[in-house]
């Protein structure tokens, strides 16, 4: 790792900057793909899948058949099935606790307001294929969709691993399509003969998938959040275990060569020990080449004080933030910008990635300053409801009349005044 000792605060923005992607170039590629699917439907999906993935599909094989979905379970070891089921249960338990009961509030006598949660009717989940079958992401997106009561859940993925199909069946998804990339996002955005159009898109992906989601958002399809390469920041002091810290950095680096890895510390000794351990552990990874490329762009930043470290971490707004420091929970209270926080020496980021219960679909690229990770709320709409009794309108009505008149919206005032006049006629003084 590149060690940067005690940088001046004026240097922080440059040090914390993510790699800049040429959005114009990417959009120039993705835009035509989106349009081809919009106009060509299934035929376009078949052609694009052959062109980009070298996979031959037909109109009959775009969708994964129920027979294939059912057969997936028998292809997995009992150990893996048990692990997936346990992860499912933990994720479900955590997200189920996010349900909000309807609470009616009487803001003044006779005026009652409340809101209720309604599942988004049609949602689309994207699961990347790439070099790893991300069946864990099927759970992370499928469980809250299941709990929210979304009527139609569509899953698109180029991954054909049976664990992906097993996880899909576990969360009740029956509409699975073996298409990937920007064309999958386009299919769920516009709809084709086979793939239903959805109202909101979820899921990670490469820069082309991300660009497609952003274009979909411009055309009225909601998305979970802007996304970029996955990232981790680790804040460690002399109470940290260097081998653990190195393992956490590598677990993020192996996602892809564009993954972001940042170590922050006030201890030069700790940073040097982590660097030594990184080299040893890196050589043992099957994905060494991928992780090595990510580490080439990684940084270890030494700072003078814990207060400086917290300020820098809040400026960075990491997707994943590991606090391997003394009094980690107290330090966490000072963090205002992060997607998900992991406390202490025995809380690896990989636990959250898979099975602790929290969601691993999180804001990247600094968007944790304003966005939350995926939750049950991501899959519902909050609809407000109000009811006013005749007695309530007599109290509230004059307030509304005065405000509407001041804004020169006479029709708004009249809607109240007519009702008040009617009540006066029915109940003359």
- Residues designated catalytic: 319-320
Residue 186's Cβ-count burial label (10 Å; 0-12, 13-18, 19+) is: buried
Q: Is 281 annotated as a binding residue?
A: no
Q: Is 190 annotated as a binding residue?
A: no
Q: Is 422 annotated as a binding residue?
A: no
User: Distance between alpha carbon 120 and the CA centroid of its chain, in Å?
Assistant: 16
Q: Is 353 annotated as a binding residue?
A: yes
Strands (E), 225-376: 231-236, 260-265, 299-302, 318-324, 338-343
319/255 Cα distance (integer angstroms): 14
> Phi and psi for 83 in degrees, rounded to 5?
-65, -45
328/148 Cα distance (integer angstroms): 33
Q: Is 387 annotated as a binding residue?
A: no
Q: Is 320 annotated as a binding residue?
A: yes
410/12 Cα distance (integer angstroms): 54
Total residues belonging to the chain: 429
Q: Which residue has the tokens 């709409």?
A: 381
Q: Is 372 annotated as a binding residue?
A: no
Q: Is 238 annotated as a binding residue?
A: no
298/292 Cα distance (integer angstroms): 10
Q: Is 24 annotated as a binding residue?
A: no
414/18 Cα distance (integer angstroms): 55
Q: Is 146 annotated as a binding residue?
A: no
The binding site for substrate comprises 230, 252, 255, 320, 353, 407, 412
Annotated binding site: 126, 183, 206, 230, 252, 255, 320, 353, 407, 412
């Amino acid at each position: 790792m590149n060690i940067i000792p005690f940088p001046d605060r004026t240097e922080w923005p440059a040090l914390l900057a993510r790699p800049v992607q040429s959005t114009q170039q990417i959009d120039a590629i993705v835009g035509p793909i989106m349009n081809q699917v919009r106009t060509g439907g299934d035929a376009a999906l078949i052609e694009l899948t052959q062109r980009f993935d070298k996979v031959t599909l037909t109109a009959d094989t775009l969708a994964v058949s129920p027979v294939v979905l059912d057969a997936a379970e028998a292809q997995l070891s009992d150990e893996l099935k048990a692990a997936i089921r346990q992860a499912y249960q933990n994720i479900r338990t955590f997200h189920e606790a996010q349900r909000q009961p309807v609470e009616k509030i009487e803001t003044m006598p006779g005026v009652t307001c409340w809101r209720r949660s309604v599942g988004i009717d049609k949602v689309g989940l994207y699961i990347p294929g790439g070099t790893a079958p991300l069946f864990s992401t099927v759970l992370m997106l499928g469980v809250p969709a299941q709990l929210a009561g979304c009527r139609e859940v569509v899953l698109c993925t180029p991954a054909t691993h049976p664990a992906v199909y097993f996880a899909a069946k576990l969360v009740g998804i029956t509409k699975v399509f073996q298409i990937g990339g920007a064309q999958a996002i386009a299919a769920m955005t516009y709809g084709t003969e086979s793939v239903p159009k959805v109202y909101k898109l979820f899921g990670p992906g490469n820069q082309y998938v991300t660009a497609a989601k952003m274009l979909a958002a411009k055309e009225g399809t909601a998305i979970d959040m802007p996304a970029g390469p996955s990232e981790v920041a680790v804040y460690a002091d002399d109470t940290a275990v260097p081998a653990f810290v190195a393992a956490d950095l590598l677990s993020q680096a192996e996602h892809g060569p564009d993954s972001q890895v940042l170590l922050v510390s006030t201890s030069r000794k700790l940073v040097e020990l982590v660097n030594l351990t990184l080299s040893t552990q890196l050589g043992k990874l099957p994905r060494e080449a991928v992780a090595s490329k990510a580490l080439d762009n990684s940084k270890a930043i030494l700072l003078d004080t814990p207060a400086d470290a917290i300020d820098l971490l809040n400026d960075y707004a990491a997707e994943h933030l590991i606090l391997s420091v003394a009094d980690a929970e107290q330090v966490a209270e000072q963090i205002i910008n992060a997607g998900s926080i992991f406390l202490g020496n025995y809380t690896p980021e990989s636990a959250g990635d898979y099975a602790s219960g929290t969601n691993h679909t999180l804001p990247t690229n600094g968007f944790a300053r304003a966005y939350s990770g995926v939750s049950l709320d991501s899959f519902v709409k909050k609809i407000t409801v109000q009811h006013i009794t005749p007695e309530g309108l007599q109290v509230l009505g004059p307030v509304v009349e005065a405000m509407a008149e001041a804004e020169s919206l006479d029709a708004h005032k009249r809607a109240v005044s007519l009702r008040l006049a009617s009540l006066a006629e029915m109940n003359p003084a």
